[in-house]
Amino acid sequence: MTLKRRITVFFIAGLVVAAVAAVYYMPVRQQTVAAVSSSRRGGPSASEPIPVLATAARAADVPVYLDGVGTAKALNTVTVRSQVDGKIINISFTEGQDVPAGYVLAKIDPATYQAAFDQTVAKKAQDESQLANARLDLDRYTRLAATNAVNKQQLDTQRALVSQLEAQVKLDQAAIDNARAILSYTDIVAPIAGRTGIRLIDVGNLVRGAEATGIVILTQLRPISVFFSLPQQNLPDLTKGMAEGQLPVDALTADGKSALDKGKVTVIDNQVDQTTGTVKLRAEFPNNDLQLWPGQFVNVRVLIDTLRQVVVVPTAAIQRGPNGPFVYVLKDGDAVTVRRVTLTQQNDVQAVVATGLQADERVVTTGFARLTEGTQVAVSSAEDAGQVTTPVTRPRPDGTRGTRERGGEKAKRPSAGLPPAANP
């Protein structure tokens, strides 16, 4: 073998050895570079605690609501119409005006009705004059009949004439009362206290008593009714609550976060709608601030009970697994343990825990991705992070509604306002 050939063989062998060494040492170098990059970025290593937010479970009274959508309706609505024919000579209300009962809304020309009334009054005066004369004649005939100066038949005839004229006077009085009533109909008055709507007719128009259009629609806005429906499955709770007293009900804003007005359920319909499986209810609201308007769609919630001193956690703490809901509970030494729980009910904000958790135990609310049994964590307060807010428990109007305790059978009843959680 020549020298040139030997040099070529050694060169190729060196390249092969270099390639093998590069393949062998490359993963080690990549891991080293990744570790250095991770340390420069400040990322946690496998031995560092996992940062989480946590909050303490608490005992609280939780109201139980049934939610529905209803329609506001005026407690009374009257289409004010004329009871007599005639020309309107005056309209004395302003559109949208609140008027008391008996307020004169419009005036119809009373000339013909006043004349008819005057005629009945004159007719009565005429008949009363005839009656007075007949009574004088009856008195004379009575004295003459005692001396047989006149026959008895003439006396009886005069007595019958007096009775006839007395009846005529009574008839005249009835005619006067009728004419007075018809005359009073020329003043169109408000039959109820309420608010006037848009005027339906103008001054100078001829109206008739049989017309269906009317002059104005009058609605009673204070108080006001709201009709809404709830599923028939809630009937036992509703009937039980009504037996204890009128159920409190809130009319909510469109976002459901605040109450427009507070009222009472006044009646539950006496039958279930078979086409929808719901029962209709009517609630009455004072509507002092006119937040409710006839025809308005309203979200309502009915307070049917209050859960007493139950364990409450943020809904964010509840996790779901193959065996049902569970939470991560903090143990001593800032380690977490998995705890299965059963839920009574929950909403977007909080969940009521029936079993598996005690008040004041701390539960994790964020940072679940890397948590397992016994994982070490670095805990921050969920309250400090603004994640947990303490909900305001509304006081019960009567101070007595609600007797359900934690973990009882009654505590497992569903609520439309706070949907029940499926227990494992």
Give the whole-angstrom CA distance, residue 233 versus residue 85. Answer: 54
> What percentage of the chain has pLDDT greater than the value 70?
82
Q: How far is CA 308 from the centre of its chain?
A: 25
Place of tokens 């605690």: 49
What confidence category does residue 246 fall into, taking pLDDT thresholds of 50, 70 and 90?
Answer: confident
26 exposure class (CB count in 10 Å sphere: 0-12, 13-18, 19+): exposed
Q: What is the reported pLDDT for 2?
A: 65
H-state helical runs in 209-269: 235-244
- Arithmetic mean of pLDDT, 320-326: 92
Burial (CB count within 10 angstroms: exposed 0-12, middle 13-18, buried 19+), residue 372:
exposed
Pick from 247, 252, 245, 286: nearest CA to 264: 247
- How confident is the model over 247-263, as pLDDT tens digits? 999 999 888 888 999 99
Q: What is the pLDDT of residues 145-190, one digit of tens each?
A: 888 888 888 899 999 999 999 999 999 999 999 999 999 999 999 9
Integer Cα distance of 386 and 283 in angstroms = 37
Per residue in 188-212, pLDDT (tens digit) is 999 999 999 999 999 999 999 878 8
pLDDT number for residue 131:
96
Residue 7 or residue 252, greater confidence: 252
Q: What is the mean pLDDT of the chain?
A: 84
pLDDT score at 11 = 74
Rounded to whole angstroms, the Cα distance separating 131 from 67 reads: 74
- Of 368, 367, 312, nearest to 341 by C-alpha is 312
Each residue's pLDDT tens digit, 70-119:
999 999 999 999 999 999 999 999 999 999 999 999 999 999 999 999 99
Number of H helices, E strands in the chain: 4, 23
Residue range 111-134: mean pLDDT, rounded: 96
Helix then strand then coil, in percent of the chain rounded to 5, is 30, 35, 35
Name the one residue in this structure whose structure tokens are 């809404």: 228
CA count, 13 A, side-chain hemisphere, 188 = 29
**CA pair distance 188, 88, nearest whole angstrom:** 10
Peptide bond into 223 cis (omega under 30): yes
* 3-class DSSP state of 329: strand
Q: How confident is the model over 375-403, as pLDDT tens digits?
A: 899 988 755 555 555 454 444 444 445 54
Lowest mean pLDDT, pick from 30-34, 59-63, 329-333 = 30-34
Residue 84: closest CA among 180, 166, 192: 180
Q: Give the pLDDT of residue 389.
A: 52
Give the residue among 127, 116, 125 at the shortest CA–CA distance from 180. 116
pTM of this structure: 0.66
pLDDT reported for residue 24: 54
